[in-house]
Amino acid sequence: MKKIILSSAALMSLAACGSTSQPAPAAFDDSVYAQAMDTGESAFDLKRYKVAMSEYRTAGQQALKRDDGPAMAEAGYNLAVSQLAAGQPQDALKTVQDVSQTLLIRHDTSVVSLKLVQAAAYYQLKNYTQAIEDAAAPMAEADKDLAGRAALIMGLAGYDSGDNAALQRAYTRLHNMKKPVSVSVLADKKEIEALSLIKTNPAQAMSLAREVADLRRDEGSYNEMSRALALAARAASISGDHAGAASLWARAAQSAAAQSGSQMQKDADQWGQLAGGVLLHPLAPPAQ
Rounded CA-CA distance 195/217 in Å is 19
Q: Which of 65, 87, 111 is the last residue of a domain?
A: 111
Range of the domain at 56: 25-111
Residue 154 lies in a domain: no
Residue 7: the pLDDT is 46
The pLDDT-based confidence of 12 (bands split at 50, 70, 90) is: very low
What CATH number is given to the structural domain containing 43?
1.25.40.10
Residue 229 lies in a domain: yes
Residue 35: the pLDDT is 96
Rounded CA-CA distance 94/72 in Å is 15
| Res 15 pLDDT > 60 | no
Q: Which of 93, 111, 129 is the last residue of a domain?
A: 111
Residue 121: the pLDDT is 97
Residue 109: the pLDDT is 73
| Res 269 pLDDT > 80 | yes
Residue 51 lies in a domain: yes
Taking only the tens place, the pLDDT of each residue in 158-177 is 999 999 999 999 999 999 99
* Collapsed DSSP state (helix, strand, coil) of residue 44: helix
Rounded CA-CA distance 245/270 in Å is 14
Residue 29: the pLDDT is 57
Residue 137 lies in a domain: no
Residue 138 lies in a domain: no
Residue 23: the pLDDT is 34
Cβ proximity of 161 and 175 under 8 Å: no
- Average pLDDT over all residues of the chain: 90
Residue 164 lies in a domain: no
Residue 262: the pLDDT is 80
For residue 2, what are the β-bridge partners?
Answer: 13
Q: Which of 91, 111, 131 is the last residue of a domain?
A: 111
Residue 263: the pLDDT is 85
CA distances from 228 to 24, 190, 201, 208 (A): 50, 10, 17, 9
Taking only the tens place, the pLDDT of each residue in 90-146 is 999 999 999 999 999 998 876 889 999 999 999 999 999 999 999 999 999 999 999
Rounded CA-CA distance 229/232 in Å is 5
Residue 175 lies in a domain: no
Residue 267 lies in a domain: yes
How many distinct structural domains can be found in the chain? 2
Rounded CA-CA distance 29/104 in Å is 23
Residues of the chain with pLDDT > 70: what percent? 89
Taking only the tens place, the pLDDT of each residue in 145-159 is 999 999 999 999 999
